[in-house]
Amino acid sequence: MKKIDYKEKVKELHLTNFLRAEDGSTDTLLSDVFIDNNSLPELSIDEVRLEKKFFNRNFSRPFYINAMTGGTEKALRINEILARLAKDYNIPMMLGSEKVAVVDNKFPETFTIAREVNKDGYLIANVGATADLDVMKKAVELINANAIAIHLNAFQELINCNGDRDFTSYMKNIEAALNYFKLPIIVKECGFGMSQRNIEDLAKLGVKYIDISGAGGTNFARIESMANAAEDFSDIFDFGTPTALSILYARELKKKYKFTLIASGGIRTAMDAFKAYVIGADVVALGGELLKYVYHGSYEASKDYLDSFSEKLRKLMLITSSRNTGELKHVRYKLKGRLKELWED
């Protein structure tokens, strides 16, 4: 396959190939979470509240917009719509990786558009874990960010023939960020999930916001392979720790370490979010499914999706007698199938 200029073309190919690629071949395993029906909820829908406090601020919904794109002309329209949604729903928005803007000085407007549209909103800067402190500072400054995400994407980079091959600076750079920034720092995977050891290493380091970004959502191995791979990687696409399993890993570690558990990776429906909360998530983040509505449709189509998502989540909360997402953690559940086997192994 012909090599292409990562700096200018791969960002757009990521968008195009996201829409061409099928969803990840790895199952989130959220379907293996069983919850009994409650015929006596003893609750009114008016008592169910979607408002939630996280990142030290109150928001109108218990979810936020995860990193999607930036650094290509098409990203300008997408991030403008996403910023409008974030503003209208009073939820945070994370930008795509800002390296192309702060290091290569290309398409900075595709990131700054979010602050132009949502002047007082909660925006999250985003850089890879190979970025040094200087790059992180520039990423925060570019959008006047309220928080910063440091993403871990070693598997994706290894498939990209122009990608990183040295990941020895990951922990050092995360620690530098923790020591410098006073704002919330999120460490997130990029669709392949985190092991229990990974989560504990980050918690020991002092990371207070961990996004497990499990396998079963957008498959960046497949997308990267279609965009800029030197060989066929289709035989290893089915790789990663499923979202549900990573949540369970993190839930157990929260008993010892204090951190906010963010669930993403295949959170497409209200049922996905509902089950993620029940098994331990503190907040969920939406990505690929929302992007489909933005890219294929419009602001209105994306708004319809979020409205439906929100109302279905409220109904699921009611049927389990949960007035807020925090109470969902008290809902009894059982594991079945492959998730039960992996968790009990």
Is 267 labelled as part of a ligand binding site?
A: yes
Amino acid found at 63: F
Q: How many residues does the chain have?
A: 345
Is 156 labelled as part of a ligand binding site?
A: yes
* pLDDT-based confidence at residue 74 (cuts at 50, 70, 90): confident
**β-pair type (123-128, 147-152):** parallel
For the stretch 242-282, pLDDT in tens is 999 999 999 999 999 999 999 999 999 999 999 999 999 99
Is 45 labelled as part of a ligand binding site?
A: no
> Of 254, 268, 251, 344, which Cα lies nearest the Cα of 306?
268
Is 130 labelled as part of a ligand binding site?
A: no
pLDDT at 95: 97
Is 28 labelled as part of a ligand binding site?
A: no
Q: How many other CB atoms are there within 10 angstroms of residue 201's CB atom?
A: 15
Is 157 labelled as part of a ligand binding site?
A: yes
For the stretch 132-180, pLDDT in tens is 999 999 999 999 999 999 999 877 777 776 766 777 889 999 999 999 9
Is 69 labelled as part of a ligand binding site?
A: yes
Is 68 labelled as part of a ligand binding site?
A: yes
Indicate the SS3 state at residue 24. coil
**β-pair type (185-189, 63-65):** unpaired
* pLDDT-based confidence at residue 117 (cuts at 50, 70, 90): very high
CA distance 76 to 292: 16
Higher pLDDT, 75 or 6: 75
- Enter the tokens of residue 115: 């602050």
pLDDT at 23: 52
- Enter the tokens of residue 135: 């790059």
* pLDDT-based confidence at residue 14 (cuts at 50, 70, 90): low
Segment 11-34 shows an average pLDDT of 69
Segment 117-139 shows an average pLDDT of 97
> Of 269, 302, 267, 305, which Cα lies nearest the Cα of 78?
302
CA distance 174 to 192: 19
The DSSP-derived string for 64-119 is EEPP---SSHHHHHHHHHHHHHHHHHT--EE----HHHHTS---THHHHHHHHH-T
Is 97 labelled as part of a ligand binding site?
A: yes
Is 266 labelled as part of a ligand binding site?
A: yes
